[in-house]
Amino acid sequence: MFSVHATAAGSRARRGTLATAHGTIETPVFMPVGTRGTVRTQSHADIERLGAQIVLANTYHLMLRPGAEVLERMGGLHRWMTWPGAVLTDSGGFQVFSLGRDVTLDEDGATFRDPDGGPKVVLTPERSIAMQRIIGADVMMAFDQCIASTSTHAEARAAMERTHRWARRSLAARGDAPNKLFAIVQGACFEDLRRESAETLVGLDGFDGFAIGGLAVGESKAEREDMTELVAQLLPQDRPRYLMGVGTPIDILEAVHRGVDMFDCILPTALAQHGKAFTSRGRLDLRRGVYRFADEPLDPTCTCDACARYSRSFLHHLIKTEEPLGWRMLSVHNLRFYLDLMRQIRGELETGTFAAFYARQREQLVLGDQDNPAAPPPRGRTGRRPMTRGAFAIRTSPQGFASVAHVTSGEIMHSVNAPDVEAHAIYIAQSRLLARTLAGARPLVVWDVGLGAGHNAMALVRALDAAPGHAPVELVSFERDLDAFRLTLDHGKLFPHLRHAAPHTLAHRGTFTRDGFTWTIREGDFLTAFAEHACPDVIFYDPFSSKVDGEMWTLSTFRALRAHLSRPAELFTYSKSTALRSSLLAAGFHVARGTSSGPKEETTIALVLGDPALADHALLDRGWLARRSRSSAPFAPDIPAEQHAAIEAAIQAHAQFG
């Protein structure tokens, strides 16, 4: 049962209570995220002391590990994790969305292979609800189809309508179980679809509350706020409203103002891992050197363990040395900040002073560090720094973005496409193995061959930042000449992809480590170094062209690389030349067409098969062989003419053309 006890003048904010089997929840409320039954770095006693009333757990992950049998035998999640408060479980819809192409969706549900190498899994509305009942969730979510908020109208409509059909099945599967069940309003950023979704779901009898889903997945802040305000107005007054996966403190304040009651987000612990803290003095970055001798507490108004026991100087030391205690203490503080903010909001609503509080906090919650504001660089600073280093120079493309040129050859890295867009499209979005790892499955080893300006490696870092539940990833960047990388690090204004702790730490120490991710650099000749490293699963193959790095594109190199690969693997590269593909085939790889890139209608993927996840790459077929026969350059220049016949025979007999 949900009751509204107070509303705010000049605002849609409201103060309420939600009765559950494990206590009454005071709203508005923030739910710490305990994906696998635990909030990262925190014991359940910690969460109780901080004052959390309810935590969120992940149906998808708990279904895979430990599985329904364990939870059933252990008496449900509350008893197993020794948590006395309430639990809300998501349905698995967002995690299915995160699997990308590694999932098949149909009317029945979602079919995917256990990302950790297990059997195929079918997740339907009925199975999702059954799993949530086994977990013992106080609040369950209906199974939905989540899509990017930037999807087309047709895509958003199809997903919304399927969400409605699955919502009906979720209601039927709940039956007479006492667990509360929320529906999820979808519709991307289309007002007509959001209205239709809200109207349809409200018209279904039996839902105890409603969630606003499909936001914080690509839209702008203004779009998110507009959609939140629109949907909240369309939902019943007598049932709670839950904005899924949002957000920063200012995001939460704005959503409360628009009538939302419940929130969850990983940011308090995820940002803590990177040294970020929300305080009454603004948002602090404890990695900054200015805190080395700072003896004052993190936040003088806070009484959490981090603020009561430790100085900013010591916390800075913990973060810089990557001691787990630093992550833990900043997580304690950030969670306290979020939970205190919700207590303040509830108090202001009770006393009728929310409007003034909202006006003050709109300014306060967006502040940067007030004690040690970051000084802007002197005017013209970028211009005064050298624009060349060694064999490399910075150039500006006609499209307006900066790139790095090899002065002697005149060739430019990423000369046509925006580098970050190209890096994501070629090296991240196509990888079946990486998508599985981002969804929390098996660990991954990635080789970044040709670090260059760091665009490909940072595309991976951004993907990992956006998937906090990812499985462990080891990234090794190979580069014989670090001048290009160091040149771009000196010009952060021109290369925004490097505005992150990872590349700067890497350049200084040779390695960067955080929970679940290690990035190391190997300087020198790749051909003499790679055999010393663990076999990769994914290879970003991006040396400079054959004109600059000729030896990297030879048949002998590809044969040596293929011989080193002892398990299924994906290799992505920007070229689509017939000679390159012929060499890869002759070396023993299977070869597939990759995504387009700028003027190239295709790129190339080389594969070591053996993993079902790789089966749907578009392998070259006999039609390509026919076109190759008409090519004026079917062999790479490093292959002597006397070997052409033998190589040709090997290509024609390759298993992928059988």
Catalytic residues: 90, 264
Strand partners, 2: 18
**Three-state SS across 298-331?**
CCCCCCCHHHHHCEHHHHHHHHHCCCHHHHHHHH
**Alpha-carbon distance values, 384 to 265, 339, 402 (Å):** 42, 46, 16
Spatial CA neighbour of 228 closest among 1, 8, 58, 13: 13
Query: Residue 221 has which token pair?
Result: 């802040």
* Cβ atoms of 312 and 298 closer than 8 Å: yes
Q: How far apart are CA 134 and CA 368, in angstroms?
A: 44
**Which residue intervals of 517-577 are DSSP H helices?**
526-529, 555-564
Helices 354-364 and 324-351 pack at an angle, to 10 degrees, of 150
Q: How far apart are CA 500 and CA 141, in angstroms?
A: 35
CA angle, corner 641, sides to 638 and 643, nearest 5? 85
Report the length, in residues, of the chain: 658
Q: How far apart are CA 559 and CA 397, in angstroms?
A: 36
Buried b (16+ CB within 10 A) or exposed e, 558-571: bbebbeebeebbbb
* Cβ atoms of 395 and 402 closer than 8 Å: yes
CB neighbours of residue 616 within 10 Å: 12
**Prior bond to 213 cis, omega within 30?**
no
